[in-house]
Structure 1
């Protein structure tokens, strides 16, 4: 597989989006987010998302001319109307708006409506942590989980993320969905014809299945069963309900209908951590936490406990040093989409 440097990849993805008619500034923002996602090793939400997003931009499900409208109803609050723009770019603008509020008053929260699928939360969490903010981020999604006692998907997997900044650069970054795994992993398994663990998803009748193709017609299973489903439900109400975005089954499946306007909601809450303790002191506490984790390792553990995000940051550093490894077919397809 070829290795491509970060700048070249960002330019390439930017050209793909620009060819759909997308604003150049928003296209570059989205490209940067997706390339960072790829470099962090989150390939299910990185460069493989470029073509589906470009399709939605061309088909009308996403507005290529969108420029988010940001207002401040209170010193710590920002309301963001994404104008049906591409989620990765809307999310970046909203994160920056929340950080601006936090610089002014210590804490900032941006509630977004009128957005679309944003990909992974990890790149925005990294942005916040590198600026020395702690963060709590969340987004809703199209339905894929049944409510407790239900037989139809009504709830999204409502990913959430948490970040804590570390002066050493080894920030804590957690990015998880409320389903056992992201639906994209099931989609990839179905495309390859691979089996999946039966704990991941159900078929259309609600029965656990190892058939990935059948799972794509069914539902994802929530982490922790009823607890996970109710957590996903309440996060959706928090994100979609307070922002004025679509919520629960109001959100269409853009993979099935590329013309559907999703009106996805996001929440980006950041804390100016330095107002609570000096950055060096926080880094020392995180170091203490790492030591506690290491003391809790099992004897002869092949993979000792690590802080969330460590592997992603290692991959990011390697990609920036050596270039981004990309599958030959995917790279050729991106070049084709970009008219290169």
Structure 2
């Protein structure tokens, strides 16, 4: 633990988070849903997408860029398909409503999809994938985002760093969890490097002219670089088509800037596609295959003995187990921000 962080129990952090969001105008019920997602992000070690987000969420709630009294609604448009209107609510609140709706129809039909519109930044995907996996659902989840990436070969930002995640349950152990954005790193990592006065690898972003840079300020004024070059560009477009265009949310440059227009609704979109694995076979069948799947991978001799082969999600799930037992490491800055809202 560094001098800039402290250890706090999950229960106390949750209580503090609920009080802070309640004082920003949300009901206790809605605040609880939001904090559930963000605390799990902190448990996973994803601090850039955890309760530190109260800084940006809070700023937009205060200027009515996000609706604190959002009435999230759902419409069943087909046996296995639901449309969610988030009413410009806090992203994790809309995300939880969409997840629960997708689980409901997937329980009935074996497969379910929820398409959400009228939302905002909804945190990381892995908490949603984990919650789905705990109920026996495999998942594919995505969201669009503020434009920060140029089209492949282009010179201005026209698509977002849209996250995409997958989860597969394992009743006998840890689920498979993959949570990734379409850029080499999240913009929050570059922002943190700028705040800390540190340089960044040139593979993370470019300046405003499209030239790779190690200067985090120049990268924040420029563009993020996609994973896999033109392939990452294509994946980002597919996420935006599902999350933005098909959900009737904003897409590409129609998404309002999170920073430049904080008082205007972003109208972000999300998609949740869930598969009820209980329809495919017995619990024992899935446990055997998932454990064998993991064993095949982890049995590969490591090229670096200090870094053995792992299955995606292992680091986050191990960190969650440690922090649930010993407390969550969180920055003093985040605690101070939470307390400032909670004590108003």
When normalised by structure 1's length, the TM-score is 0.97
Gaps of 5+ in 1: none
**2:131 pairs with 1:107:** no
C-alpha deviations, 1:155-185, integer Å up to 9, x for none?
A: 1111100000011340111000110111110
The equivalent position to 1:75 in structure 2, one of 73, 79, 85, is 79
The alignment partner of 1:7 has SS state of helix
User: 2 CA distance for matches of 1:107 and 1:320?
Assistant: 32
Aligned length in residues = 340
User: 1 CA distance for matches of 2:331 and 2:239?
Assistant: 35
User: 2 CA distance for matches of 1:177 and 1:40?
Assistant: 16
The equivalent position to 2:309 in structure 1, one of 305, 309, 316, is 305
Q: How does 1:264-275 map to 2 (within 5 A)?
A: 264-275=268-279
**2:20 pairs with 1:22:** no
User: 1 CA distance for matches of 2:173 and 2:187?
Assistant: 30
Gaps of 5+ in 2: none
- 1:129 is aligned to 133
- 1:150 is aligned to 154
Aligned residues: CA RMSD: 1.2
User: 2 CA distance for matches of 1:297 and 1:222?
Assistant: 30
State the shift of 1:214 in Å.
0.6
The equivalent position to 1:230 in structure 2, one of 228, 234, 240, is 234
**2:96 pairs with 1:92:** yes
State the shift of 1:242 in Å.
0.7
State the shift of 1:66 in Å.
0.3
The equivalent position to 1:258 in structure 2, one of 250, 259, 262, is 262
- 1:240 is aligned to 244
Q: How does 1:202-217 map to 2 (within 5 A)?
A: 202-217=206-221
When normalised by structure 2's length, the TM-score is 0.96
State the shift of 1:196 in Å.
0.5
- 1:61 is aligned to 65
Moved more, 243-252 or 256-265: 256-265
**2:13 pairs with 1:9:** yes
State the shift of 1:327 in Å.
2.3
**2:161 pairs with 1:162:** no
State the shift of 1:11 in Å.
1.5
State the shift of 1:299 in Å.
4.7
1:147, 1:230 within 8 Å by CA — same for their partners in 2? no
State the shift of 1:195 in Å.
0.6
State the shift of 1:144 in Å.
0.8
- 1:139 is aligned to 143
User: 1 CA distance for matches of 2:40 and 2:196?
Assistant: 25
2:202, 2:214 within 8 Å by CA — same for their partners in 1? yes
C-alpha deviations, 1:44-82, integer Å up to 9, x for none?
A: 101211121111111111100002101101110010000
**2:322 pairs with 1:328:** no
2:119, 2:268 within 8 Å by CA — same for their partners in 1? yes
The equivalent position to 2:200 in structure 1, one of 184, 196, 202, is 196
State the shift of 1:24 in Å.
2.2
State the shift of 1:132 in Å.
0.8
The equivalent position to 1:286 in structure 2, one of 285, 290, 308, is 290
State the shift of 1:297 in Å.
2.8
2:298, 2:311 within 8 Å by CA — same for their partners in 1? no
User: 1 CA distance for matches of 2:326 and 2:259?
Assistant: 33
1:196, 1:211 within 8 Å by CA — same for their partners in 2? yes
User: 1 CA distance for matches of 2:40 and 2:92?
Assistant: 11
